[in-house]
Structure 1
């Protein structure tokens, strides 16, 4: 770890390099390893086999290097996770055109964030170690806050909105990924898996004890073809409705 002069903040050396705070040597022979190569190998491994497959030893093997050589660039696996997330999220999309309303801008930001997670489902298994710390993740934070700039919300309310939406995106994506994995493991297509689930529940529920579940099953809604984006669209609409109510209450 390194620190500033007053000792109140710190960054791992590899994250300092990501921010451009640490110079990389420009002269001399090119090293066999680099932070970029290590992170790329780790991301590719996570994409193929899941985050659980990522370890310093396994990444070293992928690169044909010794495990100890990796520690010259990345101090620990948690630090590697941070750099993997930074590489996977990339830079946020361009800002919306001038005059775009806060609701449309925030929905576009949330949708782009969700797309990033869906492209890299292993990110859902990353432990949450704190607020954004790397250049790309801070840039995403900035873009989300920019959507609320000019509203009547104070700074604390704005960051609470951003955290609420980020949490919803993570939860919705996690449920979708887990259900997808379960269906894939069953060997059934999604519609057949849902039919089997419904038939099982029908045998278990008692119309007297579970009248609402019974009514749900009888409605046939579980068998209807569903828009894969429905839960995200529905949930975001309800969240933004609540934010709109808050903004109106705060507006003179």
Structure 2
């Protein structure tokens, strides 16, 4: 019987899977295939979008399509393969194109904002196991768009790739925390922002400012009237980790700009 959690495949096998024919699997004995791999992946994405990644199994996807579980193995042999295909399919949206004004910082920030939009449209993506850098057609399109902008100030090729990895890690982990905190707030029946305020006030009630002056100073500012909010990555002002994401992205871009400037002077 086919296992849903076999040993990992090699990067070469993953690339072959992601770039291969998405139509019916090679001809085998038995009835003529009526499904396509793309239809299976689309059904799995819909299931993950509505019920979460934990709901995705070969059995559930087969049931959604009206087929038996074993029939799906004619097209996709492993659940891990299905997850790889889902991740790439979820990135089918078109990444930002080149900016006419040549503003690389604005281009990188636009790319980041669109990546955040992808994660929010498919929250399960932040919980997928990471087996390596993007390898599928859609993942490469997004990588190309990001590298095009981030390399513009004069970073080397490997430097550009490293900084794009840093940015994507910040975006992914921030959205992962947002998803988990939002789900916890929903279970409690309170808005995310209210939960943060309650957390801050609760700690302020037990902490000694003499022992934790920095922490208490920060907590005093949470929920303060008139506090400036950076809403570029959190337009609904719902609170949570993404509320300060723009500030962090700006500081990363400052570092890239300063590094490129020093390189130019030398």
TM-score by length of 2: 0.81
TM superposition shift of 1:209: 1.5
Aligned residues: 241
Query: Any conservation in 2 of the 1:50–1:122 contact (CA below 8 Å)?
Result: yes
List per-residue Cα deviations over 1:64-105 (Å, max 9, x = no partner). Answer: 211111111112111111111111111433413333222111
Q: Which secondary structure state, in structure 1, belongs to the residue aligned with residue 223 of structure 2? A: helix
Q: 2:253 aligns with which of 216, 230, 240?
A: 240
Q: Which secondary structure state, in structure 2, belongs to the residue aligned with residue 90 of structure 1? A: coil
Query: Any conservation in 2 of the 1:92–1:143 contact (CA below 8 Å)?
Result: no
Structure 1 CA distance for aligned equivalents of residues 79 and 184 of structure 2: 28
The equivalent of 1:108 in structure 2 is 110
Structure 1 CA distance for aligned equivalents of residues 22 and 151 of structure 2: 25
RMSD over aligned Cα atoms: 2.7
Q: How does 1:70-219 map to 2 (within 5 A)?
A: 70-217=72-219, 219=220
Q: How does 1:14-29 map to 2 (within 5 A)?
A: 14-17=17-20
Structure 1 CA distance for aligned equivalents of residues 41 and 11 of structure 2: 28
Q: 1:230 aligns with which of 234, 243, 247?
A: 243
TM superposition shift of 1:249: 1.5
Q: Which secondary structure state, in structure 1, belongs to the residue aligned with residue 76 of structure 2? A: coil
TM superposition shift of 1:137: 0.2
TM superposition shift of 1:235: 1.0
List per-residue Cα deviations over 1:150-204 (Å, max 9, x = no partner). Answer: 4322111110111111111101111111111111110012343233222321222
Extract unaligned runs of 5+ from structure 2: 1-9, 235-241
The equivalent of 1:3 in structure 2 is none
TM-score by length of 1: 0.85
Structure 2 CA distance for aligned equivalents of residues 251 and 203 of structure 1: 52
Query: Any conservation in 2 of the 1:89–1:136 contact (CA below 8 Å)?
Result: yes
TM superposition shift of 1:140: 0.7
